[in-house]
Amino acid sequence: MYLRASHILRTKTILKYLELRGIYEGTNVEGKQARELPLKALTIYLIIAFGVAYLLDVPLIVGVVPLKFFGIEATIRMWAPTLGAVIALLACGAPLKEGLKSLGVRLGRLRYIPLGLAMPYIIFTLGIGVCYVMGYAPTNPMASLLSNPQVPQQLKDLVLKAGPEAFLVLQLVNAVLAGLTINAVVALGEEIGWRGLMYKVLYPRYGLLTSTAIIGVVWGLWHAPLILFLGYSMPHHRDAVGLAMYCAVTSSWTLILLLLRRGSRSVLPAAVMHGTINALAGLMTLTYPNVDELYVLPVGVASLVASLMVGAVLKVLFREGSECGKEKYLIRVGG
């Protein structure tokens, strides 16, 4: 009896080692078979992620909640995808802790976090170059801030005291800190869904580019009520054109985000990139205050072209099976 128990223990230890190495996928003690997340999980996820977010938008759209509370609503809204992912995992019979880890809620390869932080700055820089080619000269965002009558005078006094150039540098540094901390935490709420569950369901079936297109468009459409009714990021294009451009840009960002997710085996670098984009968005907008947002940064043609350039380079550098290695795309789910 002792020898049999010892043999079973050794066998379990070996199988666990092989599983951690990505060589073996087994069945856990509850008899839940390791396999790809079913498309059912994606359906449940989308219903929850969109349903909760759209419901949260209604009070703002109809005016029950003043727009000054948009920041609070947006923060809560960004966790709707995580709620959808959790419910989808539970509905498929997956252990929650193991399921979330498989979606990328883990440290992964930490060297990708600085890369995620750098991506928005590279897109910002390249985007300014694209705007030059298109005939749009940049403006110091702080100069644009000073000329805006809606900006409080106290803030203008701070800019004047420090100097527009020095204050711009300070804001760029602040974006780094925000992107690594509070903004990343908030953006994680979305990334667990878009680059977590959706990636886990779609990538094994359709590969990188098709998954990029699907996730990118779905991510953009998730913002549709905000764009069409509130002018979010598209104040002059609350229409199908503005929404289509927004979806195109979110798709170009998704290519980069998925490459970070695939390489790091974690959603954290994607959350850092997402959070840093949000931190820089205001500066990007103020760089071209008098130009139609459809053509410049952060969600216009310039951003689309710059992001596609970055994504193309990363796709060549981070080929699957080389830098990123193999990731297990199986999750233990009920029968």
DSSP string for 126-191: HHHHHHHHHT-----HHHHHHT-TTS-HHHHHHHHHH-HHHHHHHHHHHHHHHHHTHHHHHHHHHH
> What does the domain layout of the chain look like in residue ranges?
108-325
- What percent of the chain shows pLDDT beyond 90? 77
| Sole residue written with tokens 């216009």 | 300
Q: What is the model's pTM?
A: 0.88
Does residue 135 come out as left (phi exceeding 0), alpha (psi in the -120 to 50 range) or beta? left
pLDDT tens digits in sequence order for the chain, 335 residues long: 444 555 445 545 544 443 443 333 333 434 455 578 899 999 999 999 999 999 999 999 999 999 999 999 999 999 999 999 999 999 999 999 999 999 999 999 999 999 999 999 999 999 999 999 999 999 999 988 888 888 888 888 898 988 989 999 999 999 999 999 999 999 999 999 999 999 999 999 999 999 999 999 999 999 999 999 999 999 999 999 999 999 999 999 999 999 999 999 999 999 999 999 999 999 999 999 999 999 999 999 999 999 999 999 999 998 865 444 456 666 666 65
Beta bridge partners of 35: 331
Find the helix or strand (DSSP H, E) in which 33 lies.
strand 33-35
